[in-house]
Amino acid sequence: MRISTILDHIDNGHMALPEFQRGYVWNREQVRGLFDSLYRRHPVGGLLVWATESGAAAHRGDGSLAPGIVKLLLDGQQRMTSLYGVARGKAPAFFDGNEQAFTGLHFHLENELFEFYQPIKMKDDPLWINVSDLIKNGQEGHEKLIEALAAKPEIGTKAVKYSGRISRILGILEIELHVEEVTGADKTLDVVVNIFNRVNSGGTKLSKGDLALAKICAEWPESRDTMKAKVNGMCD
């Protein structure tokens, strides 16, 4: 599935995050590394989703789900959240974390480096471009940017080379990612959480408490927020 299609699915509620998933934990270096890999067309791994009826799907965030079958991310949340955050310039509806991790990503057209915005280093160098602005403005923005760069005497004909690099960034949205589905009437919440735990065995596994919370959230979607409010009240 194309990355652009995945992002559209997140926008229209056809793809979301199950309630038992943790929040966003990536840092800027991981986001930078993801975009560098995508730019160079290196493999970044596929996605694992739980295809289930939206009416019975306990999901994170305030966004509404589309009717019918929806896909809940079991593996790939950090990558898709990072991609969405940079490409859309905002966090997805299911977001829970630090938006600064994907805010302000820039690309240097000569050195082909991704870095996060540093005013002293970047403000007077027109070759540093904001990746979010570039992707949001699309081809029209691409043409205007190249026209402006070509008008600078110190750049001139180099703008042709830079145009190819901009096209490569925009082409990230057309990259195909393999999406594997967990589906079927036998895929209960217990089964899906067990699958999720095995897939994520390289990281921190879901605890028995996480499993219990997932079961509670399936019956009482507001439970996570209610518990957070109680804990915050005790800390005040």
Whole-structure pTM value: 0.85
pLDDT for 44-102, tens place per residue? 999 999 998 888 777 888 888 999 999 999 999 999 999 999 999 999 999 999 999 99
pLDDT for 152-193, tens place per residue? 999 988 999 999 999 999 999 999 999 999 887 777 777 777
Provide the token pair at 57.
């799907």
pLDDT of residue 231: 60
**Closest Cα partner for 7 from 116, 112, 90, 68?**
90
Residue 73 φ then ψ, to 5°: -70, 120
Secondary structure (H, E, C), the chain: CEHHHHHHHHHCCCEECECCCCCCCCCHHHHHHHHHHHHCCCCCCCEEEEEEEHHHCCECCCCCCCCCEEEEEEECHHHHHHHHHHHHCCCCCCCCCCHHHCCCEEEECCCCEEEECCHHHHCCCCCEEEHHHHHHHHHHHHHHHHHHHHCCCCCCCHHHHHHHHHHHHHHHHHCECCEEEECCCCCCHHHHHHHHHHHCCCCCCCCHHHHHHHHHHHHCCCHHHHHHHHHHHHHC
pLDDT of residue 16: 93
pLDDT of residue 195: 76
* Cβ–Cβ under 8 Å, residues 103 and 90: no
- State yes or no: pLDDT of 236 exceeds 80: no
Distance CA 111, CA 41 (A): 17
* Cβ–Cβ under 8 Å, residues 88 and 60: no
